[in-house]
Amino acid sequence: MAQVSLRKVIKAYEGGVQAVKGIDLEIADHEFVVLVGPSGCGKSTTLRMIAGLEEISGGDIAIGGTIVNDIPPRDRDIAMVFQNYALYPHMSVYDNMAFGLTLRKFPKAEIDKRVKEAARILDITPLLERKPKALSGGQRQRVAMGRAIVRDPKVFLFDEPLSNLDAKLRVQMRTEIKKVHQTVKTTTIYVTHDQVEAMTLADRVVVMNHGVIEQVGPPQELYHHPATKFVAGFIGSPAMNFIPARIEEASGALNVVMNNGTTLAVPEDRVARYRPHAGKQVLFGIRPEHLTDDKTMDKSNLAPLSLTPEVIEPMGMETLAHFRHEGTEITARLDPSTPAEVGKPLALIAHMNQMHIIDPTTDKVI
């Protein structure tokens, strides 16, 4: 087990395209870190560079304090789980799991002990004699994890391991992966494009975009205190609303004024923070769950506004209402008992404690 350090790591391809543009990241021992971002953001490339499957073009990668830039994958003491499982089709489940240990010349008894222990943890003991083609997707993914566990490596690397599974199995395997990590506690780096997977699994989430790290932090921190517009929009579902507005000062207090004149009072504890931006055009960011009907328990810093729904989506435990306001799509989360109708103005409450103000020139959250 070990910590992993990335220092100014760059991946450049022929023709000068940079997939990863000098990222820094420190991953602690036992930590579960998820790299998340849209496709092409460089997260898989970063993982493959840690694995040694891609050469790095600049910077250093260290595993357990040793710089591994020029060390081949087999000597990095890592194990990797692939999206398409990559099981050896001609070997039984047992042999698949034992392969890495056999190559490393472990004694037979030790291999047997480790394979059986991993099979027990993953609940695949009855499948040990089967070939991969006789297994379901979920079972194959378990075997792929088993192959990683038996090696007892310093680091586990997961490359979108659940993307090939159906929705129900994905949720189940997600829990499974979390359980395994709680049992074996190996440092884990996990790549996904699914922000729900990132939020549920990670000790810390690394949000990447265009080859750079936008923000690193525990899931709750990213949710409540996004650093950039990209993180604010990427984390959370449905995505945060971004409404063009201005900050205006009126007799010592600050207001967020939307383009149609709707005025929302800024909470007192944020006045000092936003005052330098008074009079400027900003983006008013608010999550659908913080733009809601007036049935909330928390009554502090609520700002009323009225919008006319274009689409209503009853989800059962909640209702989503979609609005169009001066060319911007806005979503609100309503109590399912609220009588919302398309085309009929709806009284809403913005939880101003939860709002975010984004500087449109830098896309940074103020």
Partner 1 sequence: MSATTIPVKQGIYHKAGSLRRERRWALWTAYLSLIVSAIIMLAPPVYMLLTSLKTSAEVADQSGSPWWVSSPTLENYWALLGNRMFIDFFLNSAKVTIAVVALTMVISVLAAFALGRMRFWGSQALATGVFLTYLVPDTLLFIPLYQIVGGLGLLDNAWGLVLVYPTLTVPFCTWIMIGYFASIPKELDEAALIDGANWMQMLWKIFIPVALPGIIAATIFAFTVSWAAFVYPTAFITSPAEMPMTIGVVSQLIRGDTFAWGQLMAGALLAALPPVVIYAFLMDYYIAGLTAGATKG
Q: Which H/E stretch holds residue 258?
A: strand 253-258
Find the part of the chain contacting partner 1 (CB under 8 A) among 70-78, 242-250, 283-291, 293-301.
70-78
Among residues 9, 34, 51, 350, the one that binds partner 1 under rule CB under 8 A:
51
Find the part of the chain contacting partner 1 (CB under 8 A) among 56-64, 85-93, 167-175, 291-299.
85-93
Does 108 bind partner 1 (CB under 8 A)? Our answer is: no
Does 173 bind partner 1 (CB under 8 A)? Our answer is: no
Q: What is the CA radius of gyration of the chain?
A: 25
- Say if residues 104 and 150 touch (Cβ distance below 8 Å): no
What is the total count of residues that contact partner 1 (CB under 8 A)?
Answer: 23
Smallest gap from residue 83 Cβ to partner 1 (A): 8
Which long-range CB contacts under 8 A does 210-215 form with residues at least 24 apart? 210/21, 210/41, 210/42, 211/11, 211/18, 211/19, 211/20, 211/21, 211/23, 211/41, 211/42, 212/21, 212/22, 212/23, 212/42, 213/23, 213/24, 213/25, 214/37
Nearer to partner 1, 80 or 247 (CB): 80
DSSP label of 136: -
Does 79 bind partner 1 (CB under 8 A)? Our answer is: yes
CA distance 158 to 15: 29
Q: Determine the 3-state secondary structure of 172 from DSSP.
A: helix
Smallest gap from residue 84 Cβ to partner 1 (A): 6
Reading phi first (left if > 0) and then psi (alpha if -120 to 50, else beta), residue 210 is in left
Find the part of the chain contacting partner 1 (CB under 8 A) among 23-31, 73-81, 284-292, 329-337.
73-81
Among residues 72, 107, 126, 252, the one that binds partner 1 under rule CB under 8 A:
72
Smallest gap from residue 335 Cβ to partner 1 (A): 47
Q: In the structure encoding, which two tokens stand for residue 119, read together? A: 């099979």
Does 167 bind partner 1 (CB under 8 A)? Our answer is: no
Does 199 bind partner 1 (CB under 8 A)? Our answer is: no
Does 113 bind partner 1 (CB under 8 A)? Our answer is: no
Does 53 bind partner 1 (CB under 8 A)? Our answer is: yes
Find the part of the chain contacting partner 1 (CB under 8 A) among 13-21, 76-84, 187-195, 264-272.
76-84
Find the part of the chain contacting partner 1 (CB under 8 A) among 79-87, 251-259, 287-295, 316-324.
79-87
Q: In the structure encoding, which two tokens stand for residue 200, read together? A: 């549920």
Q: Which residue has the tokens 């983006």?
A: 283
Does 99 bind partner 1 (CB under 8 A)? Our answer is: yes
User: Residue 267: is it exposed, middle or buried by C-beta count within 10 angstroms (0-12/13-18/19+)?
Assistant: middle
Nearer to partner 1, 65 or 72 (CB): 72
Nearer to partner 1, 101 or 245 (CB): 101
Go through 300-324 and write b for each residue having 16 or more CB atoms within 10 A of its CB, e for each that does not: ebbbebebebeeeeeeeeebbbbbe
Among residues 24, 55, 104, 123, the one that binds partner 1 under rule CB under 8 A:
104
Nearer to partner 1, 133 or 344 (CB): 133
CA distance 204 to 213: 13
Among residues 58, 59, 64, 73, the one that binds partner 1 under rule CB under 8 A:
73
User: Would you say the C-alpha torsion 166, 167, 172, 176 has a positive or negative sign?
Assistant: positive
- CA-nearest of 246, 216, 243, 214 to 230 is 214
Find the part of the chain contacting partner 1 (CB under 8 A) among 57-65, 69-77, 192-200, 217-225.
69-77
Does 103 bind partner 1 (CB under 8 A)? Our answer is: yes
CA distance 146 to 208: 29
Find the part of the chain contacting partner 1 (CB under 8 A) among 97-105, 204-212, 240-248, 315-323.
97-105
- For partner 1, the binding residues (CB under 8 A) are 51-53, 72-74, 78-80, 82-84, 86-90, 99-100, 103-104, 147, 151
